[in-house]
Chains A and B, each alone.
Chain A
Amino acid sequence: MTVATGAAVTGAGASGGAAPVVELVGLTRSFSGSPPVQALAGVDLLVREGEYVSVVGPSGSGKSTLLHVLGLLDRPTGGDYLLDGVPTSATSEGRRAQLRGGRIGFVFQQFHLLPHRTVLENVLLATLYSGVPRGEREERARAALERVGMGHRLHAAPTTLSGGERQRVAVARAVVTGPSLLLADEPTGNLDSVSSAAVLDLFDELHAGGLTLVVITHDPVVSARARRRVRISDGLLAEV
């Protein structure tokens, strides 16, 4: 960890002035069945603006459920989740979609790039649903791709890119809307070590730029890059 990024988190933590981005209060999520599975059993978590948090845990520990709840893809069965101070658990599906598009950027293990669209079009896709003004869309997409170092492959098909390049495009897509929170789900799970390192460097740069990141992983190398690490096991969170 560099001095600069360290200073940013410490600064935020020390002053306590940075606004909370994610606030989980006694959050539970259980799945019906016989027997019912409690994936999240009363989780409390506070992530402030500018933090870089990794969530680690073995498979089946509730990692994915946590990610889905954080990403507003799933509703908790109990407790509350405040995103940027906005309570989300009881709001309408349309409003949640709005929040999802405007305030959350996703990076997936499988990249999820549309194979028949160019790199630029894939990034532009995120601007469609998040309310970026029409005139700014392309400019912002180009800027985001430039930012992740993919400015030279704007019109390439994703299928012609390496895994590392694809993930960089996916990151560009996640940040093009200027989200409050970047959620990454095993971002290096499909990458070799060199590509992984490049993507993690990119995360460091984004973090240094003030972005709030939550990375969910089981890879200790990935989690080690985060300033703050949280372990999840049996549906409960603990700081490492």
Chain B
Amino acid sequence: MRDARAASATLDDVLDDPALAPSRRRRGRAARALRTAGGRLGGRLAGTRLGGRLGALRRGRRDPGDGGPRRPPWQRGDGFDVRDLLSEAVASVGARPGRLALTMLGTVLGIASLVVTIGLAQTAAGQVGRQFDAVAATQVVVQAGSATTRGGQERATGRLPFDAQERVERLAGVEAVGALATVDVGDAEVTAVPVNDPSAPAAVSPPVVAASPGLLEAVRGRVVTGRFFDAGHDERGDRVVVLGAGAAERLGVTRVDSQPTVFLGEEPYTVIGVVDGMVRRTDLLQAVVMPLGTARADWGLLAPQELQVRIDVGAGPLVARQAPIALDPANPDGFAVQTPPEQSSAREAVQGDLNATFLALGAVALLVGGLGIANVTLLSVLERRGEIGLRRALGATRRQVAGQFLVESVVLGLLGGVVGASVGVMAVVGVSLVQQWVPVLSLPMSFGAALLGGLIGLVAGTYPAVKAATLEPIAALRGGL
């Protein structure tokens, strides 16, 4: 037998050493010759197809110096590390695609509902904000600031210049600007025909307002008939007026092609147009509007009182900051600026309501998802008792077994999270598409939701992992596979 072993070792040496076996053909011949010799010497051992290999493996198990202490394989090799852990967990999770899908379902639904909730809330809030923008958020009003003196009197701290319109309309984000001021006409009444009739009942005269040419556009008015005055009228101080639709009716002016005249007290003014609309200042519909220059010349107007600015969506803060500087660089603090209602406050209110409701739903779904993972992982621990026993028999420690089940659970959760987040994002985009909204989704939220799935897996897998680790290998091995 010892001779047979020696022969088989020699055979391997010959087979393995290229120097001793220069050609495949000769090598084959040598092997055959030695095998024959081995067969004669050792009978069964060398004659089997396994003889050579067994010899090689046996030698590999020992140190080169025969008879020396045996070196255990685990002292020189690689232990069960993170790579092994991950590949084992992924292989186990992927082994049953059907079950994988069912297990993930809870997490997928939970994460998806969470993403849909937050995503739709954000989208809807954005939508609401846009509606607000269209109605009210494109107007800025600048007035001369005022301060209360110690004596309790209000004093203006700034004064709007007469060329306020030119100064402000150059700013970025400004679409139209118009300055206006109430004209103090004293006792003068506005009449179409100056009739001095002491017996006539006292009528309330329409207010007289002075405006810059840009006002009509700035307050979203439109011309019904005739025209609005222009910079020329303003500059020359022409005695022309434009009537608001209400004032025109009261004064009995329906057409302007015959150049009708209205009187302010004794002074005649030519009506050149009738305007309507003016949603920002509907009171102007009842007013008689004259150019600022005219009011300044005829009625001693000191300064415009108010500047109506129509702006682009979202330009509010910018215009609010820049307009006072443009109006009076030396004293920008002398103006009070009314900006559009802050969009975010409206948005937050809406978002708060939506989120509270839907987040609760999402949380419940997540809880169910987590319980689902815990349940299935626990079930699979019971089901895979045999595997656990086998792994322990193969040298796995409790920690390694626990780690594997925990990682499997995390992988499950993470997969569910990724799928759920994707489904959620698609749902939000889909709903937005149908509603013709602009989908608004925060990126960190979407990725965070996917990671949340992993976290749920971690929490859900803890108990089953502990359970798996505490299984006794003997009992587990009896469980079969």
Contact = CB atoms under 8 A, between A and B. Distances in A.
A236 interface: no
Contacts of B397: 93-94, 97
Given A97-B396, A102-B73, A128-B88, A209 B58 contact: yes
B9 to A, nearest CB: 12
A71 B392 CA distance: 11
19 contacts: A2-B43, A4-B44, A74-B474, A100-B394, A112-B389, A116-B91, A126-B395, A129-B400, A130-B74, A130-B394, A147-B54, A173-B394, A175-B57, A178-B73, A205-B50, A208-B51, A209-B50, A209-B57, A210-B54
A121 interface: yes
B74 A4 contact: no
A93 B398 contact: yes
Interface of B: 1-2, 4, 42-45, 48, 50-51, 53-55, 57-58, 60-61, 70, 72-80, 84, 88, 91-92, 95-96, 386-387, 389-400, 473-474, 477, 480-481
Interface stretch (A40-48, A131-139, A192-200, A218-226): A131-139
B477 A117 contact: no
A35 B96 CA distance: 45
A98 B1 contact: no
Nearest to B55: A209
Contacts, number: 149
A177 interface: yes
Contacts of A26: none
A131 B54 contact: no
Contacts of B392: 73, 97, 100
B84 A102 contact: no
A98 B74 contact: yes
Contact of B53 (A102, A147, A210): A147
The 9 closest A-B pairs by CB, nearest first: A101-B395, A209-B54, A131-B74, A116-B95, A129-B395, A131-B77, A7-B1, A102-B74, A178-B61
Given A7-B1, A130-B73, A133-B78, A101 B481 contact: no
Interface string A118-146: 00010001101111111010000001001
A7 B42 CA distance: 10
Contacts of A113: 481
B474 A73 contact: yes
Nearest to A68: B474
B358 to A, nearest CB: 39
A130 B396 CA distance: 8
A100 B44 contact: no
Interface string A205-236: 11011110000000000000000000000000
Give the dominant DSSP class at B's interface: helix
A98 B54 contact: no
A82 interface: no
B1 A178 contact: no
B401 to A, nearest CB: 10
Contact of B396 (A101, A115, A133, A143): A101
| Max chain B Cβ within 10 angstroms of own Cβ: one of A113, A117, A178 | A178
A111 B386 CA distance: 10
Interface residues of A, number: 56
B393 A106 contact: yes
A58 interface: no
B74 A101 contact: yes
Interface in A160-179: 173, 175, 177-178
Given A130-B77, A147-B50, A147-B57, 9 more contacts: A3-B1, A73-B393, A73-B477, A97-B395, A97-B396, A100-B394, A112-B477, A133-B76, A209-B58
Given A116-B95, A146-B53, A205-B48, A132 B400 contact: no
Q: Is the interface of A mostly helix, strand, loop or mixed?
A: helix
Interface string A54-83: 000000000000001001011000000000
A226 B268 CA distance: 135
A3 B96 CA distance: 50
B477 to A, nearest CB: 7
Contacts of B480: 110, 112
A114 interface: yes
A132 B480 CA distance: 26
- Point out which of B392, B394, B396, B474 has the most chain A C-beta atoms below 10 A from its C-beta: B394
A115 B399 CA distance: 24
A110 B386 CA distance: 10
Contacts of B399: 94
Contacts of B42: 4
Contact of B75 (A84, A131, A209): A131
Contact of A206 (B54, B61, B400): B54
Contacts of A177: 73
A180 interface: yes
Contacts of A173: 394
Interface centre among B393, B396, B477 (most CB of A within 10 A): B393
B393 A71 contact: yes
Contacts of B79: 131
A38 B387 CA distance: 29
Given A208-B44, A208-B45, A209-B50, A128 B393 contact: no
B61 to A, nearest CB: 4
A132 B395 contact: no
A8 interface: yes
B429 to A, nearest CB: 37
A133 B77 contact: yes
B54 A208 contact: yes
B481 A114 contact: yes
B283 to A, nearest CB: 81
B80 A116 contact: no
A178 B44 CA distance: 22
A110 B95 CA distance: 21
Given A97-B395, A129-B395, A130-B77, A8 B95 contact: no
A115 B481 contact: yes
A130 B395 contact: yes
